[in-house]
Amino acid sequence: MPSSVVGVLLAGGQSRRMGGGDKCLRMLGGETILSRVIARASHQVETLVLNANGDPKRFSSFGLPIAPDVVAGFHGPLAGILTGLEWAAANVAGAQSIVTFPVDAPFFPVDLVSRFEAAVEGLTSRLVCASSAGRTHPVFGLWPLSLAGNLRTALVDDEMRKIDAWTALHDLVEVSFSAEPFDPFFNLNRPDDLAEAERLLDTLT
């Protein structure tokens, strides 16, 4: 388990397609989605922080530090990535990079971080994202702390909002994961997705 990598759980969105509120606090198989994400991520990194806006007390039972977006205005996952980079630099000695996990994808691979690390071993590039079934999943990424200043400039000064637009400016390594028996990056955006997640959960038990 790499101590130089900090895990950042991205929960800063507004969940409009799910009807608002914190979709990660909805139940899936008798547990909150967030509990399932924490369990999956905590085995892969030594330190976890939750990027979430609003009243932090609603997450107090999870026992994680809470880091609200460092740039106000709900600017999407890039703001969460920047928040994670700056939080790790300020709070975790020896941190070199962060791995981001969106909290609406409860089935992501248990070897995500180790495969990310292996993909860039010996390379100058330390920027990684996941892919499956021919699609990239940039919210699942490995981000070096050294790019925090560059990202802040892109987000604040250049008003960049899409992850793909920013990663296109850097050397990016994609790590492909199998989509069988189902895509591990399946995420819950709408109420129908929650029902599908329950069905997928049944296939794992």
Tens digits of residue pLDDT in 92-127: 999 999 999 999 999 999 999 999 999 999 888 789
Residue with tokens 């994670």: 84
For the chain, the residue count is 205
Domain that holds residue 98: 5-204
Nearest by Cα to 33 from 43, 181, 41, 99: 41
Measured distance CA(41)–CA(35) in Å, rounded = 10
Residue 81 clears pLDDT 50, i.e. is over it: yes
Residue with tokens 């791995």: 99
Q: pLDDT (tens digit, 9 = 90+) per residue, 14-32?
A: 555 445 678 999 999 999 9
Measured distance CA(172)–CA(126) in Å, rounded = 8
Q: pLDDT (tens digit, 9 = 90+) per residue, 136-189?
A: 999 999 999 999 999 999 999 999 999 999 999 999 999 999 999 999 999 998
Measured distance CA(65)–CA(82) in Å, rounded = 16
Amino acid at the residue 36: R
Residue with tokens 């941190």: 95
- Domain CATH for 123: 3.90.550.10
pLDDT number for residue 2? 59
- φ/ψ region of 31 (left if φ > 0, alpha if ψ in -120 to 50, else beta) reads beta
For a pLDDT cut of 90, what percent of the chain falls above it? 84
Residue 205 clears pLDDT 70, i.e. is over it: no
Number of domains within the chain: 1
179 and 132 in contact (C-beta within 8 Å)?
yes
Mean pLDDT over 72-82 rounds to 91
Distances (CA, A) of 184 to 111, 139, 178: 11, 13, 8
pLDDT number for residue 20? 63
